[in-house]
């Protein structure tokens, strides 16, 4: 079944999938079945035919070269199709009409083709679905960082993101120095490594984040839990600590799966109260991690 055939079948019911198919058409090839891709089986048959023919026409050295190239491309094709499959599962019901840049797609597949770890493939798939939904969501720099990440580093970053809140939709680390949560989720050796990857940056002193609201009440969110702050002046100044997410860190925050911690929430709320804010926390318990 070709990409065009799949597109015609699902177009009436699933525009997001059609957009994904259009974006990856040139890089995935002629076969795309969102629930089961079969290119690998066909490629294995082609490999056997070429090697059989090689008995008469190729030297042993040439046969080894062809065999290596085929195995490499088979593995890459399998990786790519697993990632596209993951992207198809994560597509939102509505997507932007803006076109996904071909240069971005080319860089995406160049970066992910040698990724075999399931956990990292999941992140690549979420990035692809996010870019299809809203082109421009993920920069080439973020793709380069993810290309170098391994499972342990992804887990380290996901752990750190337990400390991340959102203020006006912007991910922000509310880092309380020497708190139990900071010691648990952001030990110094992890912070240094994440900074070296380009996901974080440090400041020597605690920083204030200022933001303006139409009234002196600001809404902060921690996963699915909300906290309203009432202030007497605008803009509102909030002490956020000495660790910031880089632009790429903010983008990858959207696709990792940290686990909320009620202790972290309680520590921040207590700190805000001591800073003089009137706090109106809503009782909803954290239920969903960003990117899950």
Co-location of 92 and 163 in the same domain:
no
Residue by residue, DSSP assigns 51-93 as HHHHHHHS-HHHHHHHHHHHHHHHHHHHHHHHHHHHHHHT--S
pLDDT at 207: 65
Whether 212 is in a domain gets the answer yes
Among 97, 129, 148, the domain boundary falls at: 148
pLDDT at 112: 95
pLDDT in tens, 162-218: 999 998 778 989 888 788 998 999 998 999 999 999 999 887 666 666 666 666 677
Co-location of 89 and 56 in the same domain:
yes
Whether 248 is in a domain gets the answer yes
Angle between helices 151-160 and 188-197 (to 10 degrees): 110
CA distance 196 to 50: 45
Read off the pTM.
0.78
pLDDT at 60: 80
Whether 187 is in a domain gets the answer yes
Among 129, 148, 167, the domain boundary falls at: 148
Among 103, 130, 148, the domain boundary falls at: 148
Domain that holds residue 243: 151-281
At residue 202, the 3 state secondary structure works out as strand
| 85-89, 96-100, 262-266, 288-292: segment of lowest average pLDDT | 288-292
Co-location of 170 and 108 in the same domain:
no
Q: If you average pLDDT over residues 233-243, what whole number do you get?
A: 76
Whether 139 is in a domain gets the answer yes
CB atoms within 10 A of CB 110: 12
Question: pLDDT at residue 70 above 70?
Answer: yes
Look over the chain and give the mean of its residue pLDDT values, rounded to a whole number: 81
Nearest to 172 by CA among 126, 121, 215, 227: 227
Co-location of 143 and 156 in the same domain:
no
Whether 257 is in a domain gets the answer yes
Nearest to 230 by CA among 164, 275, 166: 275
CA distance 89 to 166: 25
Nearest to 208 by CA among 245, 167, 163, 242: 242
Whether 288 is in a domain gets the answer no
Question: pLDDT at residue 2 above 60?
Answer: no
Q: DSSP character for 199?
A: S
| 48-57, 106-115, 185-194, 215-224: segment of lowest average pLDDT | 48-57
Place of tokens 């909803």: 284
Q: What are the residues facing 171 on neighbouring strands?
A: 166
What percentage of the chain exceeds 70 in pLDDT? Answer: 76
pLDDT at 13: 45
Question: Judging by beta carbons within 10 Å of its beta carbon (0-12, 13-18, 19+), is residue 8 exposed, middle or buried?
Answer: exposed
Q: If you average pLDDT over residues 146-159, what whole number do you get?
A: 95
Per-residue pLDDT band at 100 (split at 50, 70, 90): very high
pLDDT at 286: 43
pLDDT at 95: 92
3-class SS shares of the chain: helix, strand, coil, % to 5: 55, 15, 30
Number of compact structural domains in the chain: 2
Per-residue pLDDT band at 14 (split at 50, 70, 90): confident
Residue 233 vs residue 246, higher pLDDT:
246
pLDDT at 152: 95
Cα distances (angstroms) measured from residue 96 to each of 45, 92, 103, 133, 290: 40, 10, 18, 6, 20
HSE-CB for 80 with a 13 A CA cutoff: 25
Co-location of 141 and 169 in the same domain:
no
Co-location of 79 and 142 in the same domain:
yes
* Sheet-wide strand order for 170-173: 170-173, 164-167, 217-222, 225-230, 278-281
Q: If you average pLDDT over residues 60-85, what whole number do you get?
A: 86
Co-location of 78 and 131 in the same domain:
yes
Per-residue pLDDT band at 29 (split at 50, 70, 90): low
């Amino acid at each position: 079944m070709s990409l065009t055939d799949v597109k015609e079948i699902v177009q009436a019911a699933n525009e997001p999938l059609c957009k994904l198919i259009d974006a990856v058409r040139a890089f995935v090839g002629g076969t795309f079945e969102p629930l089961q891709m079969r290119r690998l089986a066909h490629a294995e048959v082609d490999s056997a035919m070429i090697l059989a023919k090689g008995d008469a026409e190729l030297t042993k050295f040439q046969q080894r070269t062809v065999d290596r190239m085929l195995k490499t491309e088979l593995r890459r094709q399998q990786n790519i199709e697993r990632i596209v499959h993951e992207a198809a599962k994560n597509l939102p019901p509505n997507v932007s009409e803006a076109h996904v840049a071909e240069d971005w797609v080319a860089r995406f597949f160049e970066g992910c083709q040698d990724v075999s770890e399931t956990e990292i493939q999941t992140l690549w798939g979420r990035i692809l679905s996010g870019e299809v939904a809203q082109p421009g969501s993920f920069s080439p720099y973020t793709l380069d960082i993810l290309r170098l990440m391994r499972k342990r580093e992804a887990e380290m970053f996901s752990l750190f993101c337990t400390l991340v809140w959102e203020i006006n939709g912007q991910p922000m680390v509310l880092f309380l120095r020497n708190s139990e949560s900071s010691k648990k989720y952001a030990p110094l050796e992890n912070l240094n490594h994440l900074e070296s990857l380009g996901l974080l940056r440090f400041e020597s002193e605690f920083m204030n984040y200022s933001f303006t609201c139409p009234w002196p009440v600001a809404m902060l969110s921690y996963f699915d839990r909300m906290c309203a702050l009432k202030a007497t002046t605008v803009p509102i100044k909030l002490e956020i600590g000495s660790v910031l997410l880089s632009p790429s860190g903010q983008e990858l925050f959207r696709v990792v799966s940290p686990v909320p911690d009620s202790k972290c929430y309680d520590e921040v709320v207590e700190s805000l109260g001591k800073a003089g804010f009137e706090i109106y926390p809503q009782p909803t318990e954290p239920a969903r991690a960003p990117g899950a």
